[in-house]
Amino acid sequence: MLPSVLFVTSEMAPWVKTGGLGDVAAALPASLHQAGVDIRVLIPCYPALRAAFPDACTVAELPSLAPALPPARLLAARSDGLPLLLLDCPALFERPGNPYLDASGADHPDNALRFGLLSRVAARLGQRGSPLGWQPDVVHVNDWQSGLAPAYLHYEGGAPSVITVHNIAFQGCFGHDTLAALGLPEQAWRFDGVEYYKQLSFLKAGLQFATRLSTVSPTYAREIQTEHFGYGLAPLLRYRAAALRGILNGIDTTSWNPATDAALHQPYSIETLAGKALNKSALQAQMGLPIVGDRPLFGVISRLTHQKGLDLLLAVADGLPALPAQLVVLGSGDKDMEAGFLALAQRHPTHVAVRIGFDETLAHRIEAGADSFLMPSRFEPCGLNQMYSLRYGTPPVVRATGGLADTVVDCDSPLADDHGNGFWIDGDSPHALWSSLERVSHIWRDSSRWAQIQRNAMRQDFSWKQPAKEYIALYREATTSAELQ
């Protein structure tokens, strides 16, 4: 018998997505559902979900579950057969902005309550007398937003739990008053409870109390146990190392398939790689760049934040016209970095084009039209764009960290042995990034070598089949063995 699972998430593509968690929360449950797992996805009923599922019907009324938590309801819906549970609480979720930020870009002031409710309800469904009449064998939570659920399950009893860390830099820290407001016992205020540097941390609570821990690549699972990458949580992760696994994310190979991608000017495959050139000229035209074939075109699609290391690119990008190379950037985030890229494009209008915003269609066209994709991330738990790039024959240039190190093989490495599919940046300085750009543009000019790198990249399998098996094994472990330290 496969264990039944409640999968808890704060975002889910295509309706609500700020980054890779949204993609994973759509594709992993769908893949587990296909594999026969009785899985239901619990997510706040944001306006986009209410609009997408107008016929969702009430399946449970939830009374107030803690002093500061309002009553709520659960609505049931299905997405391609996958059961969704929409946590309906208009006072907390019906508002403009994204799941975490208001329209002006500041944190919603009541995030502790919003995600406290999500965690509290998740735990309630994993306990005897679940208001659904269905009780999962495992409660699987993701990141800090549902990280408090394992703490409730620990103090009150209930199903075993799994927490997956998608990004340890976001920890969900709030004041001491949150403890009572969310109905946790005072005894939880301990270093081996939910207390973390005199605050309540949702993520720490999850890492402390979940039966099993996972993160989204084997390398990141090792990295977060070090001071540099652990953002203060390394000692706890080392303590719980026996319960921690690294499972590499998959990608949605249906929507990210260059042979059938409706967003592309010209679909192509490993057999018809020449078709990729038409996507390059279409992208140049769309972005207002000269349509030239004599220089490489680099692509970037990213949140513009310190994590992604794009300040390193800004520091060297004035050299691109002389290389020569073109650059297309799609992203949004830090206002300074947005302004920096817009100014760069203004200085070099024939070599650099920048779009600030979130644009799914353009993202597909950049993956197809660029020659090479840039991801100089300082840390990258998994990263999805490098896998999209590999699948689209657009060799990525990456820092060898987290999932980037697990998916990209440097084509000049002696160990690559004809499997090279991209480029590692040798260091974390602007100079190191610049050397890589020079190396890429040199190798790009050797068209048969380049085509070989593209073929190596396109042959890889990044479907969810294998990761789904690993998650099932993890659920089994969680249900059959005791809490490991």
Interface with ligand ADP by CB under 6 A: which residues? 19-20, 23, 301-303, 330-332, 358-360, 363, 382-385
* Residue 314: CB minimum distance to ligand GLC, A: 20
Residue 385 contact partner, candidates ligand ADP, ligand GLC, none, CB within 5 to 8 A by sort of partner: ligand ADP
Q: Where are the beta strands (DSSP E) in 235-319?
A: 244-246, 297-304
Which one, 149 or 382, has the nearer CB to ligand ADP?
Answer: 382
Q: Say if residues 381 and 215 touch (Cβ distance below 8 Å).
A: yes
* Residue 382: CB minimum distance to ligand ADP, A: 6
* Residue 30: CB minimum distance to ligand ADP, A: 15
Instruction: Give CA–CA dist 303/333, Å, rounded.
Output: 6
Instruction: Give CA–CA dist 376/311, Å, rounded.
Output: 9
Q: Is 89 exposed, middle or buried (0-12, 13-18, 19+ CB in 10 A)?
A: buried
Instruction: Give CA–CA dist 113/212, Å, rounded.
Output: 25
* Residue 20: CB minimum distance to ligand ADP, A: 2
* Residue 19: CB minimum distance to ligand ADP, A: 3
Which one, 306 or 439, has the nearer CB to ligand GLC?
Answer: 306
Closest residue to ligand ADP in the complex (CB): 20
Residue 358 contact partner, candidates ligand ADP, ligand GLC, none, CB within 5 to 8 A by sort of partner: ligand ADP
Q: Say if residues 16 and 22 touch (Cβ distance below 8 Å).
A: yes
Residue 40 contact partner, candidates ligand GLC, ligand ADP, none, CB within 5 to 8 A by sort of partner: none
Q: Which residues form the interface with ligand GLC (CB under 6 A)?
A: 19-21, 24, 166-167, 216, 249, 380-384
Which one, 21 or 121, has the nearer CB to ligand ADP?
Answer: 21
* Residue 110: CB minimum distance to ligand ADP, A: 24
- Read off the tokens for 78: 């299905």
Which one, 158 or 467, has the nearer CB to ligand GLC?
Answer: 467
Q: Say if residues 311 and 344 touch (Cβ distance below 8 Å).
A: no
Residue 216 contact partner, candidates ligand GLC, ligand ADP, none, CB within 5 to 8 A by sort of partner: ligand GLC
Which one, 26 or 39, has the nearer CB to ligand ADP?
Answer: 26
Which one, 405 or 411, has the nearer CB to ligand GLC?
Answer: 405
Residue 332 contact partner, candidates ligand ADP, ligand GLC, none, CB within 5 to 8 A by sort of partner: ligand ADP
DSSP 2: P
* Residue 278: CB minimum distance to ligand GLC, A: 30
Among residues 24, 446, 1, 481, the alpha carbon closest in space to that of 242 is found at 481
Which one, 269 or 332, has the nearer CB to ligand ADP?
Answer: 332
**Does residue 288 sit in helix, strand or coil?**
coil
**Does residue 232 sit in helix, strand or coil?**
coil
* Residue 258: CB minimum distance to ligand ADP, A: 14
Which one, 43 or 65, has the nearer CB to ligand ADP?
Answer: 43
CB atoms within 10 A of CB 184: 23
* Residue 407: CB minimum distance to ligand GLC, A: 11
Which one, 25 or 45, has the nearer CB to ligand ADP?
Answer: 25
Residue 230 contact partner, candidates ligand ADP, ligand GLC, none, CB within 5 to 8 A by sort of partner: none
* Residue 173: CB minimum distance to ligand GLC, A: 18
Which one, 3 or 396, has the nearer CB to ligand ADP?
Answer: 396
* Residue 344: CB minimum distance to ligand GLC, A: 24
Residue 359 contact partner, candidates ligand ADP, ligand GLC, none, CB within 5 to 8 A by sort of partner: ligand ADP
- DSSP string covering 361-422, please? HHHHHHHHH-SEEEE--S--SS-SHHHHHHHTT--EEEES-HHHHHH--BTTSTTTTT---B
Closest residue to ligand GLC in the complex (CB): 20
Pairing of strands 396-399, 297-304: unpaired
Pairing of strands 5-8, 396-399: unpaired
H-assigned helices in 60-200: 90-93, 111-125, 149-156, 177-181
- Read off the tokens for 85: 């549970």
Instruction: Give CA–CA dist 404/390, Å, rounded.
Output: 11
Residue 363 contact partner, candidates ligand GLC, ligand ADP, none, CB within 5 to 8 A by sort of partner: ligand ADP
CB atoms within 10 A of CB 54: 7
Residues 177, 180, 185, 186: is their CA dihedral positive or negative? positive
Which one, 352 or 408, has the nearer CB to ligand GLC?
Answer: 408
Among residues 261, 301, 295, the alpha carbon closest in space to that of 281 is found at 295
The residues that bridge with 173 in the sheet, in sequence order, are 201
